[in-house]
Amino acid sequence: MKVVALKDVIGTSQDVDGGTWNSRRLIVKKDGMGYSVHDTIIRAGTETHIWYKHHLESVYCIEGEGEVITLKDQKTWPIEQGVLYALDEHDEHLLRAKTDMRMICVFNPPISGDEVHDEDGVYPVDES
């Protein structure tokens, strides 16, 4: 069994600041679970372009308010506490935060823990 406390991740290499977001990676690839789990803060007033070409992601909002815009169809999805969205088609999207948003994110395949988005909003695939 593995028990992870958020306080033990903050300030480590698994506490990653991406400018518009801060992701605390609780479970990562080395944990062998087949997915990764992140406690992420999206900063108020920001917009982040994201396109997980290599990952599927589910995101559950536990605090705050914002919206997701899927770029292929320009649909806007309101996000607030208690709402989950799943990027089940590697959806290229914009994430806009009206207030600080706290999100629980699950990635498949798992990430290693120190990734940041590239210029296209993509996390690289960890082939190791």
Sequence ranges of the domains in the chain: 21-108
* Tokens describing residue 51: 């396109």
pTM of the model: 0.89
Q: What pLDDT was estimated at residue 52?
A: 87
Cβ atoms < 10 Å from Cβ of 114: 12
**Residues 67-85 pLDDT 10s:** 999 999 999 999 999 999 9
Is a pLDDT exceeding 80 seen at residue 126? no
Pick the CATH number of 21-108 from 2.60.120.10, 3.30.1330.60, 3.10.440.10, 3.40.50.620: 2.60.120.10
**Residues 109-120 pLDDT 10s:** 998 866 666 676
The residue to which tokens 């996390």 are assigned: 123
Q: What pLDDT was estimated at residue 88?
A: 94
- Confidence band for 54, pLDDT divided at 50, 70 and 90: confident
**Residues 16-53 pLDDT 10s:** 999 999 999 999 999 999 999 999 999 999 999 999 88
Contact 108, 35 (CB under 8 A): yes
Cβ atoms < 10 Å from Cβ of 28: 24
